[in-house]
Structure 1
Amino acid sequence: MSVSQIWPQSPLTSERHQALLEKLSGPFNQLVEDLALPASYSDLLSEVYLPLGEWISRQRLLQGKLCFVLGVNGGQGSGKSTLCTFLKLVMEKGFDLRTVGFSLDDIYLTRGHRHLLGKNQHPLLATRGVPGTHDVSMGLELLNRLRTLRANEATYLPSFNKGVDDRAPMEAWPTCEGPVDLVIFEGWCVGTPPQGEASLAIPINKLEREEDSDGKWRRYVNDQLAGPYQELFNRIDALLMLKVPGLEAVKEWRGKQEQKLEKKVGQQSGVMDDQALARFLMHYQRLTQHSLKTLPESADICFHLGADHSFEKVQVNRMLC
């Protein structure tokens, strides 16, 4: 599949595309090999990453931002982390932009804090994932710090250990040095708007019917999304969405992630079996469906994914001028 088949109009001239392809093919293919991805993934350098890199680079210049923040939204298992890993390489080696990435997952509240929320607000808040279970102030502080980081200055990047369902100790956090040209901020509900009150009235799955029959939990989550999370998302300069085909794909793809985690850490606390995973995903269902309805048209750029994880088309809602 060629770039012209995926993009409505490639932002790259053929000459620039070829020059970037020659410059990046080696390191991109090496990363494909290092991550044990199928060899066919290398085709995405030309089809997806080079035009996306050009789009981001030019948006940064058009907006006049020294440090540009790209938000990346996508359902669980959609490939956000993989996309961000390759995009960081492309932006640094191809477009000469010093790039830092972090995830909404990295700023989860500690396990102890979430247990207190579960005790004082609602038992479902003990489970990580939904708005209200992140340290938003940490995210705001981190974005402010990255935007203003000078040469020879460094900052920590928070890290969360899903294998033990708790924040990693600070001495294990990675660091980055300034200045930063591009921040890639990814997460399953990044950029998602709150729901209207009427949408909250009816439970949408077994979890909500049996464990949130009065709607207290989902209203708390929505209030958090409408308040502090919107303040965090307002720091984003452009939003990219990875649009999953539907909830069945999320279940399948997230299950594969859990299998990889089990191989990595063994049978530690935090690795879920099929039954636990199905319940876990019910926490995310409401806002995943809401994102699928609202973001494809409001995000600046939307990548439509196929059931086989392929990039079927790119929908560009903010054109380059």
Structure 2
Amino acid sequence: MGQANRRHHFVPDFLLKQWTGSDKKLAYFTWLPNGTLHTDRCSSRGVGFEEHLYSQANPSGTKDVSLERELFTALIDTPSAPVHVKLLNGKLGDLTSPEREAWSRFLVAQLVRVPSMIQYLCDVGSQMMLADIKDIEPPDEIKKQLGHLTLQQYLETDGAWLLGNASKRALEDIIKSAQLNRVFLDAHWAVHTVTGCNLDLVIGDRPLLLEGRMTNTFLFALPLSPKSIFLAANDAESIKNIAADRLRDVVCAFNKESAVVADKYVYATDGQQRRMVERYLRKPSGPDDQHIVAGLRSALRAARASL
């Protein structure tokens, strides 16, 4: 199986390559096990991925990579890339309805496609499905195949891959969710440029930032390039306030947030932001409680408790 099929990007290349320089590489920062902040340069295709992140298991033990190709590439990233170009070129107001819908799906996808959220959805999905089949009596034919195991015992052991597959297949329904997409489609959109600032924006391996709560007043932010950031808010004043701030303050605030909520990596044009990253990037031993994922975990936990 080719490397391209194994590498499943949760931060798409069309986004990351905006941070590459004349060497066609970007700078990245990450903590090493010995507590040292490691910095190096790499191509945009060489970061922001995890092998087989969206793959499903086959009975033979091989990996089915169709979900990455048919969902995240075909439905999410490919339609979003030209919208990203329009946003960079100051054509937000020229977006068609299909383009706004494509960008909305892209934003929703950023909520759930990161590795920590994929793992959580698989864990919670498996628990809920096991609870649903707890008292189900399978047909005699299935009983013969299970041998001495109950259906629940089988799915907890040898058949656990089936539950993982089902959870990953649910990703498409989540990303297409009308309720989640309405959050973005009904919001006020803007692209804020910081070309007059001598500091560049950074981007983390959890690139979508959230201030507030999706059920209340919120502001989403997504760095589009070192000099521009996409904003979506349900209160237009939030965007106006950002536009009124000093450019350097805006860049510093968003860069701090990108580092704080990142899982393992922060990406930049160069090493200029090293001190900031060293101060705010969570070490592997630190609690992972600052990202949207933490809020979604709580929401899913509450939803499960109400079932």
Asked which structure has the greater RCO (Cα within 8 Å, sep 6+), the reply is: 1
* Bin for the TM-score computed over the shorter chain: under 0.3
Determine which structure has more spread, i.e. the larger CA radius of gyration.
2
TM-score, normalised by the number of residues in structure 2: 0.25
TM-score, structure 1 as length reference: 0.24
